[in-house]
Structures are given as structure tokens and as C-alpha cells.
Structure 1
Amino acid sequence: MTIKSPGKKPFTIKTTNNSVKNIYVHSAKLNGVLLKGVHIPFSEIHKGGNLLLEMGD
């Protein structure tokens, strides 16, 4: 999924191991950096970048 803001870089959300069985987020990386919290400030999304979600059961 990609979110596009006019004049900004796109913000892309990707998953690994996504399936009907794997419904829980085991880890999240924002631009390659492991996230320790459960939220992402809008300012980070607005800047653009990549969010990678590692899914599991």
C-alpha cells in the first residue's frame, strides 16, 4: 500500500509472512529502523518512506 502526499515522497507499507493465519504484527521497521513503540507520528508518514511489518500468529 502506498500513501502519496502532494509534493512529498510516497509512504509505502509492506508486509512479510502475511496470511489469514498470521494476523499479528511481530515487528515493525520504519526506513530500516526497528520501531519500539506502537505508533508512528503523522510527520513521519508525511515525510515519506517505508514501513515494513513482520506478521505472525
Structure 2
Amino acid sequence: MKTFSFRLIFWTLLIVFIGWDAVASPPINVRLEPPLIAAGSGQASTGGHCSSAH
């Protein structure tokens, strides 16, 4: 019974925390995020290769 109580408390607090975080944080602007393939590669995260060609 004690294990069930701890599990219930854990999952309740986790769900409450995720809900609070979703409500309190600003929405994610995917246009400002670096492309996933370039994450950590040192590549610039803004602009495309076509827009920087002169």
C-alpha cells in the first residue's frame, strides 16, 4: 500500500508540474530554433544558404 501511495504522489506531482510548465512558459517559435540536423554542429542557426548568397 505504501508503494502505491508513493507512485500516486509521484505521478500526480509530475503531471501537475508539466501542466504548470506548459501554462507558465511562452510558446515556442519554431522559426527561431536551429534545425535539428545542425544542433551542436557549430553551423549558424539563422537564415538559409539561399538568402545569404550574393
TM range (shorter): under 0.3
Relative to its length, the structure with more strand (as a share) is: 1
* Structure with bigger RCO (C-alpha 8 Å, 6+ apart): 1
Q: Please report the TM-score for the alignment, with normalisation by the length of structure 2.
A: 0.22
Relative to its length, the structure with more helix (as a share) is: 2
Q: Which has the larger radius of gyration?
A: 2
